Amino acid sequence: MSYLVLARKWRPRSFAELVGQEHVQQALVNALDSNRVHHAFLFTGTRGVGKTTIARILARSLNCEQGVSSRPCGACAACREIDEGRFVDLIEVDAASRTKVDDTRELLDNVQYSPTRGRYKVYLIDEVHMLSNHSFNALLKTLEEPPPHVKFLLATTDPQKLPVTVLSRCLQFNLKRLPAALIAGRLQQILTAEGVESEPGAISLLARAADGSLRDALSLLDQMLAFGAGRVTEAETRRMLGTVDRAHVIRLVECLAEGDARGLLEAIAAADEFAPDYAQLLDELAAVLQKVALRQAVPDLPEDEVYAGDLLPRLAARMDSETVQLGYQIAILGRRDLPLAPGPRIGMEMTLLRMLAFRPVTGDERPVVTAPARPGRTVSAAPPAPAAAGAPAATAAPSVQCEDWPGIVAQLELQGAARQLATNCELISREGQRFRLRLDARAESLRTRQQEERFRQALSRVTGSAVTLEFEVSAEPGDTPARREEQARDQRLEQARLALESDPTVRVLRDRFGAVIQPDSIKPVG
């Protein structure tokens, strides 16, 4: 007996077996059950999302010998013949191979005659956008006023190419690309029914490679079963798809978390030995960062079966949310720009280095001095030497004492929102490992469960044992580290302003060209 490919073997034969496309399913089921079936339907969507499958199910529902229903029996002669592709009153046409007007006229010559076997004569025209303009004109009149025994089911991947006159005479259903999780679930069901053991990582790879098409996913699964001799393992799937082992992707994320540029380049060099598809590598990197972001937003999410149990929580704790979000954005933009790079590896390396270069950090900008006396001319000047020298040097963090709250905060390994939460707190009292803190009301929005837990864990590491935090919110600004830093920054700014105004170069610009110092552009160095 010849082998039947999975895409045909597991093709849905009823609306109940459909995967996804609930919006189309509900509309058609209601129309069939209420006997309000339009004479022309247009199904649009990318390849492999179920356009012709839904059309065949609709043809069965219309011609089932048990009556018009959204639940065809599947056992009568009409249902069986439609499944086998030999029902005489289901006329399937590939418009890509029959584009001429004569082909269309020949097709429509028999529209007026009653069905031979079924209740309705159903015309299923696939890739209908390939018809010529003359063919559309020939079809239009029949499409507008067909005999009561005729139904038209049109399918296309490119509805923009259809004339408006055709679109206006059809009920249009846009089929969506299927989510990878939905495809993965369907693949798992099929493998279980087929009695094939599989690894979750392999199924996830196949589902993502299918790019929203369940038919493509089943074709890839067929290919994997042949490639792996009946086994579906992650390692073999990666070999077949040409993707890099997940360990390399995890290593890249770990290096990003550590800010380790050398480690990133070494990891890329190791991955390059396998001649990877760098676009796919960036996709997988973005997918891991997305998982980390979800874990940071909802820490109690169920464990991801694709990754080791402690991996995502560990990465979520080591990376602040801003770095994760920025890394994800740079990854997907880097994938788009990859073809423009001198080489794929160069593009990959620059994308990763960009993630490090633009990590959220506190930096100072140089001031700008403008000279309005000459229209259109702007003079940019770095702060003169007296400004740099006049700014006080950064004070080293003092040794940690129980009451030295700014010193404790300075040693916390925190970034982003969690660090802002810590620096906007003032220590009221400490009893053993219980810290009572006064939080500046302006920073109250930072106190989420996630940021508070990161704060607590970092403080526990500094003090050497588990701590508990108690907060009270105050509208009066207290002696917080953030307040101290703000006062020091204001002092440095004032010193920089005075030094800039007294600088000989600036005086020359002001006297000769009428230059004006923009106060908002002055930033102290250091």
Residues 348 and 412 in one domain: no
Residue whose token pair is 């490992």 = 433
Tell me if 142 is assigned to some domain.
Answer: yes
Residues 254 and 323 in one domain: yes
Tell me if 128 is assigned to some domain.
Answer: yes
Residues 201 and 274 in one domain: no
Judged against a pLDDT cut of 80, whether residue 383 lies above it is answered with no
Residues 188 and 166 in one domain: no
Residues 143 and 282 in one domain: no
SS3 312: helix
Which one is predicted more confidently, 495 or 220?
220
Interacting residues of 129 by C-beta distance below 8 A, sequence separation 6+: 95, 156, 157, 158, 159, 160, 161, 162
Tell me if 496 is assigned to some domain.
Answer: no
Residues 96 and 11 in one domain: yes
- Mean pLDDT taken over the chain: 82
Q: Give the model's pLDDT for residue 382.
A: 37
Q: How far apart are CA 138 and CA 132, in angstroms?
A: 10
Tell me if 509 is assigned to some domain.
Answer: no
Query: Which structural domain, as residue segments, surrounds residue 197?
Result: 180-241
Q: What is the CATH number of the domain that holds 445?
A: 3.30.300.150
- Of the candidates 259, 247, 333, the one whose C-alpha atom is nearest the C-alpha of residue 288 is 247
**Domain edge (last residue) among 218, 241, 264:** 241
Q: What is the CATH number of the domain that holds 219?
A: 1.10.8.60
- Of the candidates 331, 217, 333, 228, the one whose C-alpha atom is nearest the C-alpha of residue 281 is 331
Residues 446 and 353 in one domain: no
Tell me if 203 is assigned to some domain.
Answer: yes
Count the Cβ atoms, other than its own, within 10 Å of residue 166.
22
Judged against a pLDDT cut of 80, whether residue 351 lies above it is answered with yes
Band of the pLDDT at 173, cuts 50, 70, 90? very high
Q: How far apart are CA 525 and CA 356, in angstroms?
A: 22
User: For the ranges 30-44, 97-111, 281-295, which has the lowest average pLDDT?
Assistant: 97-111
Total of domains in the chain: 4
Count the Cβ atoms, other than its own, within 10 Å of residue 20.
19
Q: Give the model's pLDDT for residue 238.
A: 79
Q: How far apart are CA 21 and CA 19, in angstroms?
A: 7
Q: How far apart are CA 505 and CA 502, in angstroms?
A: 9
Calculate the CA 28 to chain-centre distance: 31
Q: What is the CATH number of the domain that holds 142?
A: 3.40.50.300
Q: Give the model's pLDDT for residue 29.
A: 93
pLDDT, one tens digit per residue, over 234-251 is 888 877 877 667 778 888
CA distances from 501 to 57, 78, 120, 507, 522 (A): 81, 93, 90, 7, 11
Residues 130 and 38 in one domain: yes
* Type of residue found at 8: R
**Domain edge (last residue) among 151, 174, 197:** 174
Q: How far apart are CA 187 and CA 221, in angstroms?
A: 8
Residues 278 and 236 in one domain: no
Residues 66 and 129 in one domain: yes
Band of the pLDDT at 146, cuts 50, 70, 90? confident
Residues 44 and 160 in one domain: yes
Interacting residues of 437 by C-beta distance below 8 A, sequence separation 6+: 425, 426, 427, 428, 469, 470, 471, 472
Q: Give the model's pLDDT for residue 30.
A: 93
Tell me if 261 is assigned to some domain.
Answer: yes
**Domain edge (last residue) among 241, 263, 293:** 241
Radius of gyration of the chain (CA): 34
Tell me if 346 is assigned to some domain.
Answer: yes
Judged against a pLDDT cut of 50, whether residue 379 lies above it is answered with no
Residues 228 and 258 in one domain: no
Judged against a pLDDT cut of 80, whether residue 346 lies above it is answered with yes
pLDDT, one tens digit per residue, over 249-297 is 888 998 988 888 898 999 888 888 877 888 888 988 998 999 899 888 8
Q: Give the model's pLDDT for residue 390.
A: 38
Residue 508 tokens read as: 């020359």
Are 107 and 123 spatial neighbours (Cβ–Cβ below 8 Å)? yes
pLDDT, one tens digit per residue, over 398-412 is 333 445 888 889 888
Tell me if 78 is assigned to some domain.
Answer: yes
Are 367 and 381 spatial neighbours (Cβ–Cβ below 8 Å)? yes
Q: What is the CATH number of the domain that holds 314?
A: 1.20.272.10
Q: Give the model's pLDDT for residue 526.
A: 53
